[in-house]
Amino acid sequence: MAKKKRRITEVPEEEYEFVPDEFDEREFIYKDIYGTKVLVVISVLAVIVGIIGALICSINSSLWILATAVSFLTVLLMKKILKLMKIRADLLDMKTMLGNYFVFLCLALGTCVVLLNAPFS
């Protein structure tokens, strides 16, 4: 028996056109500058906390736990501290703030360790 010919009807494909959102260059630059200002403030605060930690450790070397706790406690209270300084940390992304927290811890604990060693002690 002969088979019927299949007639394939082409279904018109839906056309999709990607339309990007409007890019506000001015807002991007302001946000980047603001993030840099917050990073500078956090870095200065980290050096201050590192100096305080070194002073705590110079009193008694077994108080290093207290100096480390001060650094971590400052990170936990960072948004409140920035708010007291009239800096709006809520304008920054969470990813940016996590990076700022990491920089703070490294700089504060690093300053504390450097100040406890030979030339400064």
The pLDDT score that the predictor gives to residue 2 is: 62
Residue 21: what pLDDT? 84
Question: Does the pTM exceed 0.85?
Answer: no
Segment 63-74, tens digit of pLDDT: 999 999 999 999
pLDDT on residue 1: 62
Reduce the DSSP state of residue 22 to 3 states and report it.
coil
Residue type at 66 in one-letter notation:
L
Return d(Cα 31, Cα 25) in angstroms, integer. 10
**Tens of pLDDT along 91-114?**
889 999 999 999 999 999 999 999
Inform me whether the pLDDT recorded for 8 exceeds 80: no
Exposed / middle / buried, residue 108 (Cβ in 10 Å: 0-12, 13-18, 19+): buried
User: For 22-61, how does the pLDDT look when each residue is reduced to its tens digit (9 = 90+)?
Assistant: 888 999 899 999 999 999 999 999 999 999 999 999 998 8
